[in-house]
Homo-oligomer: A and B are copies of this chain.
């Protein structure tokens, strides 16, 4: 006699939370080379968990970069095969002094667990694993076939997964993927994401004088690298927020009226959004587009970091020789990342002031993705979510980039069901990242139910 999945996950809540905390304690930051060892520890943690859950063929897919953790269970012949995707790497935690509790010492406050990666994406990766464990350990078998692919460099561009899917995409043999790395539109509102923006991430470096110069002796004749990079950045957008790169909007299509109407019905209050999520004096951006359209259906450009000259305490009167900035663009619809980068580089070069030189390089890129909401795997997901959350599922887009969705479409030929359990105030990529624990447990329930429904 076997327990049901429901009985299993209901009786293992404490063990699941304990496991999540152990996962969150590993500072597996993929953008910082000094955390290589933590990346390996996080991958090893998942291998142990997958084996204990009863998965088979658990292994590390190795290559240049961070390993992909892979496992499968193929004991349901004639049933669909679902690829389950997550990532175990996290963003850096700086600025550290803005965290209320240390980023890699998970702390539960109220119904939330605070830690870097809590929501993006360790909490969501772990709930996929616990859903499958509940079905296997509670019922002895799975209603469908599953394959796990959990990567370790989502935050840095995911080169190894891209390489792996390029070579092995068709061999993956899955019918659809579940990508658990998005968020719900609002608390208690089960959400499926059916569109993602793409991205081109770049680094600009400007050189002025050969070496830092004294601003008294040379101020008035020597070019200043920070002045130059500031002029370049200021020249990338109009004050309205419109990107001024020649041809930037050429391949942007207007949003469908049906989608715009659905978005207009979502519970969204701009003043509340400004106050509780953005926390600035005002919102900015392209005129003539709603907030949701600006973040979901329009491309954007942001500077992520800038550095140059003397930034210590007090004053130092240098004319800086060098300045660097990191700039990315979010892409929609048919925008081609390679073409966009070319236009960007040309525009930056055209903005470079006399006396200075610029170099522009691309660090990573991914095209935008769109999923058909009428697809069977998406419709079934909506049904599972609606059952577990006892509320109608809504369809939204996300302004972020999840490169795997485009790669799975292109190389494995399968659609991705973006079933996310994060919340808008989860502070992903920012200090005080958290995950809402009720969503952790309902996520396990929803994924279990989804796989059951797919097996019927």
Measured CB to CB, the residues of A under 8 A from B are 30-33, 91-92, 94-95, 98, 155-157, 183, 197, 199, 201, 207-224, 226-227, 229-231, 233-235, 237, 239, 241, 277-286, 291, 294-295, 298-320, 323-326, 328, 330, 353-357, 363-364, 398-401, 424, 427-432
A141–B283 CA distance with the chains assembled, in angstroms:
74
A231–B199 CA distance with the chains assembled, in angstroms:
24
Contact A219 B302 (CB under 8 A): yes
Instruction: Please give the distance in Å from A241's CB to the nearest CB on chain B.
Output: 7
Give the contacting residue for A220; candidates B229, B285, B353; CB below 8 A. Answer: B285
Give the contacting residue for A353; candidates B223, B235, B239, B326; CB below 8 A. Answer: B239
- Kindly list chain B residues whose C-beta atoms are within 8 Å of the C-beta of A212: 95, 429-431
Contacts A215-B304, A222-B280, A281-B354 known; A430 to B318 CB distance under 8 Å? yes
Contacts A221-B285, A239-B353, A315-B31 known; A401 to B320 CB distance under 8 Å? no
Contacts A230-B303, A278-B210 known; A216 to B398 CB distance under 8 Å? yes
A217–B183 CA distance with the chains assembled, in angstroms:
10
A401–B98 CA distance with the chains assembled, in angstroms:
38
Contacts A222-B280, A231-B234 known; A310 to B316 CB distance under 8 Å? no
- Kindly list chain B residues whose C-beta atoms are within 8 Å of the C-beta of A235: 234
Contact A284 B31 (CB under 8 A): no
- Kindly list chain B residues whose C-beta atoms are within 8 Å of the C-beta of A95: 212
Could you list 8 A-B pairs, sorted by A, with CB under 8 Å?
A212-B430, A216-B401, A220-B285, A221-B285, A227-B303, A305-B311, A306-B309, A318-B430
Contact B326 A315 (CB under 8 A): yes
